[in-house]
């Protein structure tokens, strides 16, 4: 076993302990998949990442992303948090102001700057849910949806739906058994809900059957909401908020550049040191 550089980064905030934490092992090369999974179970966070040498010459690094029970091809807040950790460690990008991450969905572009780190969402695949799935979601959350939910596949798949308002969203006390059952039925990783407060979406993401009953501030969940909203109202930039129901206060910025949706946020390191693995 050797000492490996380690950071725990809080994402979508500039205030420590108000965002969504991700554990980042900066020296991932040499670890087996089984070792990575064991470390992810031990950190007990929604995601733990491992920064490795890329197989693609143009990429800055390859990122492997694990939740406590499985590996993910892509996730939003681990991508931003890992980029923050890589830059904070002293890494000089191959292209100033940009990073290119290799991961399970291919190459993900990132932009870096004083207003945070932005990632270009992978191309989404979207499929509407049927009436039975809508009814099951509404029963699980105890509230009606404004329209049929949509499964949005960004590498991680969120069944995404809108309720009447952000205020209503914050009052919901969903059945985790019901959420898990309908997410499995719809062949998704979880359910992301949102409600509008003026022009600001309030977001909540639930993935109990993946080991995360409620994700504090979810990058891919907000990406799913961005794809859902773009399909319905076109390309409109906005800022979203998530986490107040679990004692956090995360902020996410969505912008559009042609066909690309950019998801951005700030990040701050909370723990720096090493682990033995």
Q: Which domains, ranges and CATH numbers included, belong to the chain? A: 3-121+264-276 (3.10.310.10), 125-257 (3.10.310.10)
Contacts of 50 (CB under 8 A, 6+ apart): 25, 28, 31, 36, 63, 64, 66
DSSP 15-52: STTSSEEEEEES--TT--HHHHHHHHHHH-SS-EEEEE
Radius of gyration of the chain (CA): 18
The one-digit pLDDT tens for each residue of the chain (277 residues) are 899 999 999 999 999 999 999 999 999 999 999 999 999 999 999 999 999 999 999 999 999 999 988 999 999 999 999 999 999 999 999 999 999 999 999 999 999 987 899 999 999 999 999 999 999 999 999 999 999 999 999 999 999 999 999 999 999 999 999 999 999 999 999 999 999 999 999 999 999 998 889 999 999 999 999 999 999 999 999 999 999 999 999 999 999 999 999 999 999 999 999 999 9
3-state secondary structure of 270: strand
Tell me which residue of 78, 64, 77, 85 sits closest to 203, measured CA to CA. 77
Whether 102 is catalytic: no
Task: Give the list of residues 6+ apart from residue 52 with CB closer than 8 angstroms, or none.
Answer: 28, 29, 61, 62, 63, 64
Query: 249: which residues sit within 8 A by CB, 6+ positions away?
Result: 13, 15, 18, 241, 243
Of 34, 47, 102, 202, the active-site residue reads 47
Rounded to whole angstroms, the Cα distance separating 191 from 205 reads: 6
Q: What's the Cα-to-Cα distance from 181 to each of 10, 137, 139, 152, rounded to whole Å?
A: 30, 9, 11, 18
pTM for this structure? 0.94
């Amino acid at each position: 076993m050797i000492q490996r550089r380690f950071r725990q980064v809080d994402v979508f905030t500039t205030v420590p302990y108000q965002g969504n934490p991700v554990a980042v092992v900066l020296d991932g090369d040499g670890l087996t998949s089984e070792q990575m999974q064991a470390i992810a179970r031990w950190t007990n966070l929604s995601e733990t990442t491992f920064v490795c040498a890329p197989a693609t010459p143009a990429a800055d690094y390859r990122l492997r992303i694990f939740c406590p029970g499985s590996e993910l091809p892509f996730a939003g807040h681990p991508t931003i948090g890992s980029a923050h950790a890589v830059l904070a460690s002293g890494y000089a990008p191959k292209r100033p102001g940009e990073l290119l991450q290799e991961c399970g969905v291919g190459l993900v572009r990132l932009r870096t700057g004083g207003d945070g780190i932005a990632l270009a969402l992978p191309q989404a695949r979207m499929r509407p849910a049927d009436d039975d799935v809508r009814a099951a979601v509404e029963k699980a959350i105890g509230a009606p949806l404004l329209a049929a939910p949509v499964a949005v596949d960004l590498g991680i798949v969120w069944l995404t739906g809108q309720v009447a308002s952000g205020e209503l969203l914050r009052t919901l006390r969903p059945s985790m058994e019901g959420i898990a059952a309908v997410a499995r039925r719809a062949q998704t990783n979880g359910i992301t809900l949102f409600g509008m407060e003026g022009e600001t979406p309030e977001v909540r993401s639930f993935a109990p059957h993946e080991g995360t009953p409620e994700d504090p501030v979810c990058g891919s969940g907000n990406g799913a909401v961005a794809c859902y909203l773009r399909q319905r109202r076109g390309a409109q930039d906005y800022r979203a908020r998530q986490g107040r129901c679990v004692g956090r206060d995360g902020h996410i910025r969505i912008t559009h550049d042609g066909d690309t949706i950019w998801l951005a946020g700030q990040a701050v390191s909370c723990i720096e040191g090493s682990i033995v693995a």
